[in-house]
Chains A and B, each alone.
Chain A
């Protein structure tokens, strides 16, 4: 009974590795051919040079194709109540014209995904995420007066990030954005249609995300490109973005936590509290998926896992390293790690098994296996728990954006 309802709404699986609406421009600029599969679409690890791309984010401006993001349009008088059932935060507090970072769980309180919830209008929402959740959202919406539409391929998305991103938009003729505050949305005209610009991003820098119909993608790219190239606008791939997001302390599903519906092992699923998303949980709002289990776990004595930011001594990124307490007892694993070019610090995101990370926070070590020309260098380095984000930039939030 469920299957026929879902299939017509979702046929992404019929064609493997499709091209995003920006593909012709990216392919023309690409020097690495480092394509990978992002949700069934071709995406680039790097366009020309990972290092330079990273510095474009931090010193000029960078465009990153986010079209493969999964995007659901939810409309109707019951949309707010439905999304309040679906997600952890109170959607009633999300004003029209604003964006909310949020997450959603199953009945057991285990995280299905995180994402951003846009509210362009009182009865209109867009939910963006890494994973596909149409069956879950449709089932959640049953009984609510709203429609759910997968607009992942119909809508193209572009992240424009970096200190010069505002200048690029201004030069491209998108006017009035100096008043746009962080997490605000605005619709601006483009080629007879509209482009939705939000002051959001995944870099912790000044930045915007632009959404437009797939047909308008290339003209939007060209408009930004011709205005932005003189300002140092560069196309980037995922690797550069990944560095920026680690500095910003953001977590990625599949990397820093395993979505419960994708976890093959039952003990890999995580409650929001166990991956640092406790601040999203709003127990004071209406009932929502997972509330009962999350509150029960809290009453039982807190999370069994703790996601933390680490600063590791020396300069070898601790990717995949095992964490030890007192160099002896296994305490967790590093899920993301880089040498931060901005901070000149060796930073990491790690999951610890309680009481490590909660009661025991000292005397932590990471064991790094660094492969150096066919020989592993086994390094035992001290790790210190530090607050996230590692990198805090004033320019991210200052309005109007300026040279700060």
Chain B
């Protein structure tokens, strides 16, 4: 039997962040990861001989400065200019530069002014909401003095903008992105881009209630200090995974990849440690689960140790992915029509309009995919010969791809791939004949490959009912759980998904502040 001060289950970037911060404060921390590699969904993988690309996430747009500071993360791989976003519609593309379109190419002067005003409003609102992301969510009934400071400063920040601005935020907060964009913009390409960005990764269309929250969430992120910016990391996401791992090693975390945890041990409602798949018992007064919260409570914890209400809540927890990941190895760099050569290094979004995204979503409600899906494409190897010595890798997120496809993915996968390739070919003529290798991961394969239940990379829908004090579920919000000594630190906890490290950091801070 082994023992330590804290056990972290799951070696994703959040688990590593928690482990690193706890270790840096002097705790003896052991981290167990089932997969052979840490940060499995952030690896740079070789998809075909000589072609390397990011395994799942392919952009860095919300890595929190607080996390970088707290873990001592080496961010050399992010020393790049932010990548532009190119949105393709009918005709000329629109290019957003800087932090989510500080400057715009390809729209009328009038529309550029409208966009600037809308962007500024959204950024200001996101900045207010962003105050809540770097700490435990305020828990109704348990508001502490610590919560009062951010609540007060948020109130003051709201008032500083005048009553009108405060009222405007309350009006917009739970509306949908389609209405918000229609109100402020005329250009279908910009509205389509916002519709896409607001809904990416969620089971919702732009006209679904509350869809604007997705866009706010994106805009609370920053890269290299620029709000709304995005970076394609040097060496792929694997470089960042390496940095997270190195930070944990430097902090003295005992890292045990390839070591699945079989169950979380508990006695009379208190977690006491874990039993590994090989039968080894490891004891610790603090057990942090940085894997999916439903996995934690429905698989790792003995049902006898938790309440029936909690298991009910987790069975209702919505966490079914609706995005497919596409990897292509191409013998030469594709040319997207109308896109400048330099801008191919950015994020290329195929979302012609709000209607396009909404129409792509409609079949997903009935377990089918659209013949005309929306997608974002990056070429991670551009300018990096070590990623692809010849040609290029292409990485795309395609929505919508329902988790439980009618007829099954075994039959549906080839059809969706064909659909996607036809769309890509239409925008980048000649692309298809350069394909060396193609790999499409619908949600069930994302689930299997990266141990992400439902194939949902946010570890649970980011909708109003599963945010803040209801994330992942009310009884387990704020990192602490009804099982004393068990803490949650995955994207399934506040503030949510994306490569931010904030769930991990916030959890570590709560653990350090908790009285033993």
Query: CB within 8 Å of B: which residues of A?
Result: 1-2, 81-82, 84-86, 106-108, 136, 139-140, 142-144, 283, 285-287, 289-292
Stretch of B112-120, B181-189, B308-316, B459-467 contacting A (4+ beta carbons < 8 Å)? B308-316
| Contact among A81, A108, A292 for B304, CB-based, below 8 A | A81
What are 20 A-B residue pairs whose CB atoms fall within 8 Å in the complex? A1-B315, A84-B304, A85-B308, A86-B308, A107-B307, A107-B308, A107-B309, A139-B308, A139-B311, A139-B312, A144-B304, A285-B268, A286-B268, A287-B268, A287-B305, A289-B308, A289-B309, A291-B268, A291-B269, A292-B484
Chain B min CB distance to A184 (Å)? 28
Complex contacts, B305 vs chain A, CB 8 Å: 286-287
B475 touches A107 (CB 8 A): yes
- A136-B268 in contact given A2-B315, A107-B482 (Cβ < 8 Å): no
A291 to B304, CA, bound (A): 12
- A136-B308 in contact given A287-B269, A292-B482 (Cβ < 8 Å): yes
Chain A min CB distance to B474 (Å)? 10
Check B435 for interface membership: any CB of A closer than 8 A. no
A88 to B273, CA, bound (A): 26
Check B406 for interface membership: any CB of A closer than 8 A. no
B308 touches A106 (CB 8 A): yes
A291 to B310, CA, bound (A): 13
Check B261 for interface membership: any CB of A closer than 8 A. no
Chain B min CB distance to A170 (Å)? 43
A108 to B266, CA, bound (A): 20
The proximity string for B residues 271-305 relative to A, scoring 1 for CB distances below 8 Å and 0 otherwise, is 00000000000000000000000000000000111
Chain B residue at minimal CB-CB distance from A105 = B307
| Contact among B304, B307, B312, B484 for A290, CB-based, below 8 A | B307
Complex contacts, B303 vs chain A, CB 8 Å: 85, 142-144
Complex contacts, B307 vs chain A, CB 8 Å: 106-107, 289-290, 292
Chain B residue at minimal CB-CB distance from A284 = B268
For B266, B308, B484, the residue with the greatest tally of chain A CB atoms inside 10 Å of its CB is B308
A106 to B306, CA, bound (A): 11
Chain B min CB distance to A100 (Å)? 18
A107 to B474, CA, bound (A): 12
Complex contacts, B309 vs chain A, CB 8 Å: 106-108, 289
Interface of chain B residues 244 through 269 with chain A (CB within 8 A): 266, 268-269
Complex contacts, B484 vs chain A, CB 8 Å: 292
- A286-B315 in contact given A107-B310, A291-B269, A292-B482 (Cβ < 8 Å): no
Chain B residue at minimal CB-CB distance from A2 = B315
A144 to B303, CA, bound (A): 8
A140 to B268, CA, bound (A): 17
Known: A142-B303, A289-B307. 6 other contacts (CB 8 A): A2-B315, A85-B304, A107-B309, A107-B310, A285-B268, A287-B306
B interface, over-half SS: helix
For A81, A140, A291, the residue with the greatest tally of chain B CB atoms inside 10 Å of its CB is A140
> Which of the four size classes fits the interface of chain B?
10 to 19
Query: CB within 8 Å of A: which residues of B?
Result: 266, 268-269, 303-312, 315, 475, 482, 484
A290 to B475, CA, bound (A): 13
A82 to B482, CA, bound (A): 19
Chain B residue at minimal CB-CB distance from A109 = B307
A287 touches B266 (CB 8 A): yes
Chain A residue at minimal CB-CB distance from B298 = A143
Complex contacts, B308 vs chain A, CB 8 Å: 85-86, 106-107, 136, 139-140, 289
Chain B residue at minimal CB-CB distance from A290 = B307
Chain A min CB distance to B256 (Å)? 27
Chain B min CB distance to A372 (Å)? 48
A159 to B482, CA, bound (A): 41
Complex contacts, A290 vs chain B, CB 8 Å: 307
B311 touches A142 (CB 8 A): yes
For B306, B307, B475, the residue with the greatest tally of chain A CB atoms inside 10 Å of its CB is B307
Complex contacts, A142 vs chain B, CB 8 Å: 303, 311
Complex contacts, A108 vs chain B, CB 8 Å: 309
Complex contacts, B269 vs chain A, CB 8 Å: 287, 291-292
Chain B min CB distance to A3 (Å)? 12
Chain A min CB distance to B480 (Å)? 12
A84 to B308, CA, bound (A): 12
Complex contacts, A85 vs chain B, CB 8 Å: 303-304, 308
A85 to B301, CA, bound (A): 14
A316 to B266, CA, bound (A): 54
Chain B residue at minimal CB-CB distance from A81 = B304
Chain B min CB distance to A77 (Å)? 13
Complex contacts, B266 vs chain A, CB 8 Å: 287
Complex contacts, A283 vs chain B, CB 8 Å: 268
B311 touches A287 (CB 8 A): no
Complex contacts, B306 vs chain A, CB 8 Å: 287
Chain A min CB distance to B316 (Å)? 8
Chain B min CB distance to A129 (Å)? 16
A85 to B309, CA, bound (A): 12
Chain B residue at minimal CB-CB distance from A283 = B268
Complex contacts, A139 vs chain B, CB 8 Å: 308, 311-312
Chain A min CB distance to B336 (Å)? 43
For B304, B310, B312, B315, the residue with the greatest tally of chain A CB atoms inside 10 Å of its CB is B304
A156 to B306, CA, bound (A): 35
A82 to B303, CA, bound (A): 9
A287 touches B304 (CB 8 A): yes
Chain B min CB distance to A153 (Å)? 25
Q: Which 4 A-B pairs have the closest CB atoms?
A: A107-B309, A107-B307, A143-B303, A140-B308
Chain A residue at minimal CB-CB distance from B304 = A85
A85 to B269, CA, bound (A): 11
Complex contacts, B310 vs chain A, CB 8 Å: 107
A285 to B311, CA, bound (A): 21
A136 to B268, CA, bound (A): 21
A291 to B269, CA, bound (A): 8
Chain A min CB distance to B88 (Å)? 39
Chain B min CB distance to A133 (Å)? 10
A142 to B312, CA, bound (A): 10
Chain B residue at minimal CB-CB distance from A82 = B304
Chain A residue at minimal CB-CB distance from B482 = A292
Complex contacts, A106 vs chain B, CB 8 Å: 307-309
Chain B min CB distance to A195 (Å)? 33
Chain B min CB distance to A292 (Å)? 6
B304 touches A286 (CB 8 A): yes
Chain A min CB distance to B39 (Å)? 31
Complex contacts, A144 vs chain B, CB 8 Å: 303-304
Chain A min CB distance to B164 (Å)? 37
Complex contacts, A86 vs chain B, CB 8 Å: 308
A211 to B308, CA, bound (A): 30
Chain A min CB distance to B487 (Å)? 15
A317 to B269, CA, bound (A): 45
Chain A residue at minimal CB-CB distance from B269 = A287
Chain B residue at minimal CB-CB distance from A286 = B304
A379 to B484, CA, bound (A): 52
Chain A residue at minimal CB-CB distance from B308 = A140
A287 to B272, CA, bound (A): 14
Complex contacts, B304 vs chain A, CB 8 Å: 81-82, 84-85, 144, 286-287
Chain A min CB distance to B204 (Å)? 20
Complex contacts, A291 vs chain B, CB 8 Å: 268-269
A60 to B51, CA, bound (A): 92
For A84, A143, A290, the residue with the greatest tally of chain B CB atoms inside 10 Å of its CB is A143
Chain A residue at minimal CB-CB distance from B268 = A287
A1 to B314, CA, bound (A): 13
A1 to B304, CA, bound (A): 22
For B303, B305, B310, B311, the residue with the greatest tally of chain A CB atoms inside 10 Å of its CB is B303
A110 to B343, CA, bound (A): 61
Complex contacts, A285 vs chain B, CB 8 Å: 268
Complex contacts, A143 vs chain B, CB 8 Å: 303, 311
Chain A min CB distance to B315 (Å)? 7
A86 to B315, CA, bound (A): 18
A106 to B304, CA, bound (A): 14
